[in-house]
Amino acid sequence: MPRGVPSIYKGKSEMKRSKGTEIYKSACRMCHGGCGVLVHVENGKVIKVKGDPQSPLNKGKMCVKGLSSIEHLYHPNRLKYPLKRKGKRGEGKWARISWDEALSVVTEKIEAVRDQYGIESVALGQGTGRHHRFHAIRFANALGTPNWCEPGTAQCFEPRVSTGMMTYGDMPICDYYGDINPACLLVWGHNPVISGPDGELQFSVKDCLKKGTRLIVIDPRETEMARKADLWLQIRPGTDDALALSMMHVIINENIYDAEFVKEWTTGFDALAQRVRDYPPEWAEKITWVPAEKIREAARMFATTKPATLEWGVALEHTPNCMQTVRAVALLPGITGNIDIPGGWVMGMHIMRGAPGLRENLTDEAHSRRLGADTFRILGGKDAGSPSAHIPTLMNAMRTGEPYPIKAFLIFGNNGLVSYGDSKKIYESLMSLDFLSVMDIYMTPTAELADIVLPAATWLEVDQIVSVPHVASNVVMAQQKVTSMWESRQDEEVFRELAQRLKLEVGTEALEDIFNSQLKPLDITFEELKERGFVTVPIEYGKYEKKGFNTPSGKVELYSSVMERNGYDPLPNYQEPPESPLSAPELAKEYPLILITGGRSQYYFHSEFRQIEPLRKRDPDPIVEINPELAARTQIEEGDWVWIETVRGRIKQRAKLTKGIDPRVVNVQHGWWFPEEPGPEYGVWKSNANVLTSIDPPYDPAMGTYQLRALLCRISRVA
């Protein structure tokens, strides 16, 4: 592999500028990360973080979250030292302890649970796409427990990754990186100008649109992108499967698919054609609320504008027909021949190895005991990409001890009380544990339920390798530890020290050795990468022509043999969401509105940053979006506090009236708690969207996905 772009910046010692300022190249991680930055340090203090104009990704730009990194780093409310619970669980009384004592307690608890119940009764939890993601998994593997989880596995990204793998042998990404710009961008259940990077960077998408790309947006809300779109399909939440099947119906019926690519490079086209025959746009119109003619227009535009590409988002992954929905949408670029072509949907270069995951350290017996693995086989079974435990099954095991008890839960960067579905059930589950440890940057409502709380480092205090675009990287960057505050540590150090204290046979290597092994194909060490900042290679196209697709058949599997061998429908299908006006008409009499949750804010990352003033000022209160017609009927005015209620509970958020949402739909923000309010609750029950959602069945049969969107609700003005 050639060494990437020549570095103009030199190592940190040589970067010393006049007046004692040092400049480090790094990668911002205030979100999933990936913007190249220059960190200015004066006398050990970070004084400026700015975009690196040389970065091939953000080209010097940064968003407001990234620009608030310094407030985050020096925030007075950060966790500074390890803490030990003094009173009853959840009472909010803490004592400062040393790291040595904290890690001794964690080690003893792991050993005690292992000896009494077996190591699988110790579970590991982590948050979304953090720097330590692979290291948490490898620690679980080193420990010998099959039970780790993160909110992303069944609810976010992993369904897209699994679909990409089983269908295309890789996770395709939009090609913003070559000379040819996508001519058509299909944005589906995603809002990448705010929520990147989730495979892309918001700046890449904005630049792409400036070049005149035709834009199709499929979203129940009129987002900034929807306003710019050539076509906006205002879909009924949770019916994306029906829409995608119908678009394929049009493309196949009108013979505007790529016959040559389909013939040479796909399997199961005839079966797919047969499957979508019954789904004409007139059928889909009734289900999706999108006029049949608009479905035809969108299908035609996507199929006949080349190159076309797909930006898809997490909205597709929040219903119990998650896998089939994601699969249905995924097939569109395939049948139109937009795979691995310039400006299309491309396979990345994989220029870096993943961290050695130690998956081999788990016996087959241990794998088979993973909670939910036998039922949700694409999530936790042999064909799973990152086999993980099923969160509702895990939570249930904490509460009931069935099918076997989970006694200890070690969390590294997850605010589960806010981010998992059905917060009340999560609270009961966590309260049932014998032992809970939480490592975080701040004290959160979830951390308040712990026995031991560990202070985590922010991105400016961490060494890591960042590979972007995610999963299919063609850019590899160094994230540099430029300072360290109080007694905070980087999560990876804790995994290593626990492995050493537990005398594990694996998982005890120095971090730098792991980085160097990952970088080996690039012929560069971590030390050298830090000096260069990043390494990149151009994307090659048509890679499959030489070696085929990395699927069982070597072709694009429209008909998925992986789904089939796991006992699931090998062709995409439509399922009505289980809690909808059509499937639950009785409930809909009491709760007549369709609820969507999520919809990212530019100023927050999930439940993070409510304590960072420049960000909080921009978006001070939780916002529920309501159509003015619905508002008039319910006597709600702009800025009023509004109750939003489902069968599971009620919360309040402030009304924003907008014609950009259907009067039958409301959208609430997720991630809300109020760090300024008194602990241990910090107002977590007031406005938290997951008081409304569910972790009860039905689940996606393959992935175990629970319901975070397309639920039934009602609203009223708070008196």
Ligand X SMILES: Nc1nc2c(c(=O)[nH]1)N[C@H]1C(S)=C(S)[C@@H](COP(=O)(O)OP(=O)(O)OC[C@H]3O[C@@H](n4cnc5c(=O)[nH]c(N)nc54)[C@H](O)[C@@H]3O)O[C@H]1N2
Contact residues toward ligand SF4 (CB under 6 A) are: 28, 30-31, 33-35, 58, 62-63, 65-66, 202
The smaller minimum CB distance to ligand SF4, of residues 65 and 489, is found at: 65
Query: Strand pairing partners for 667?
Result: 596, 625
Nearest CB to ligand SF4, comparing residues 32 and 85: 32
Q: Which does residue 188 touch among ligand SF4, Mo ion, ligand X, none (CB within 5 to 8 A, set by kind)?
A: ligand X
CB 434 to ligand SF4: min, Å:
37
Beta-carbon contacts of residue 311 (< 8 Å; ≥ 6 apart)? 174, 185, 186, 187, 188, 190, 192, 199, 200, 205
Among 568, 604, 673, 682, binds ligand X (CB under 6 A): 604
The answer to the question of residue 578 lying near ligand X (CB under 6 A) is: no
Kindly list the distances between the CA atom of residue 650 and the CA atoms of 616, 691, 713, in Å, as whole numbers in the listed order: 24, 7, 9
Q: Cβ of residue 601: shortest distance to ligand SF4, in angstroms?
A: 12
d(CA 214, CA 232): 11
Work out what residue 378 binds among ligand SF4, ligand X, Mo ion, none; the CB cut-off runs from 5 to 8 Å by kind: none
Q: How far is the CB of 94 from ligand SF4 (least distance, A)?
A: 30
Binding mask 35-74 for ligand X (x = CB under 6 A): ----------------------------------------
The angle, 0 to 180 degrees and rounded to 10, between the axes of the packed helices 269-276 and 240-253 is 110
Dist. CA 480–CA 39, nearest whole Å: 9
d(CA 279, CA 324): 15
The number of residues that bind ligand X (CB under 6 A) is: 60
Which option in ligand X, ligand SF4, Mo ion, none does residue 52 bind, with CB closer than 5 to 8 A by kind? none
Give the nearest distance from C-beta 71 to ligand SF4 in angstroms: 13
413 binds ligand X (CB under 6 A): yes
162 part of the interface to ligand X, by CB under 6 A: no
How many Å apart are CA 694 and CA 701, to the nearest integer?
16
The correct pick among 120, 461, 491, 492 for binding ligand X (CB under 6 A) is 491
647: number of Cβ within 10 Å: 14
Query: Of 571 and 695, which CB lies nearer to Mo ion in the complex structure?
Result: 695
**How far is CA 560 from each of CA 90, 170, 323, 564, 575, rounded to the nearest angstrom?**
47, 14, 12, 6, 18
Q: Which is nearer to ligand SF4, 250 or 468 (CB)?
A: 468
Q: Among ligand SF4, ligand X, Mo ion, none, what does residue 55 contact (CB within 5–8 Å per kind)?
A: none
Token couple for 600: 């990212």
Contacts of residue 594, defined as CB under 8 A and 6 or more positions apart, other chains included, come to 236, 237, 238, 580, 581, 664, 665, 666, 710, 711, 712, 713
Indicate whether 596 belongs to the interface with ligand X (CB under 6 A).
Answer: yes
Give the nearer residue to ligand SF4 in terms of CB position, either 66 or 82.
66
Tell me which residues touch Mo ion (CB under 5 A): 128, 156
Do you know the residue count of the chain? Answer: 719
674 near ligand X, rule: CB under 6 A: no
Least Å from the CB of residue 366 to ligand X: 25
Binding part of the chain for ligand X, among 105-113, 135-143, 410-418, 497-505 by CB under 6 A, reads 410-418
Partner from ligand SF4, Mo ion, ligand X, none binding residue 62, C-beta < 5-8 Å depending on class: ligand SF4
Residue entry with tokens 């699994």: 162
Neighbour count for residue 703 (Cβ, 10 Å) = 30
Decide which of ligand SF4, ligand X, Mo ion, none touches 455; Cβ closer than 5 to 8 Å per partner kind.
none
The identity of residue 527, as a single letter, is: E
* Closest alpha carbon to 267 in 552, 573, 566: 552
- Judge whether 644 and 711 are in contact, CB under 8 Å: no
CA nearest to 376, candidates 320, 301, 306, 298: 320
**30 interacts with, out of ligand X, ligand SF4, Mo ion, none, CB within 5 to 8 A per kind:** ligand SF4
Among 218, 339, 626, 644, binds ligand X (CB under 6 A): 218
Other beta carbons within 10 Å of 408: 25
Binding site for ligand X (CB under 6 A): 31, 127-128, 130-131, 151-152, 155-156, 188-191, 194-195, 198, 218-221, 223, 235, 237-238, 240, 313-315, 412-415, 419, 439-442, 444, 456, 491, 596-602, 604-608, 670-671, 689-690, 693, 708-710
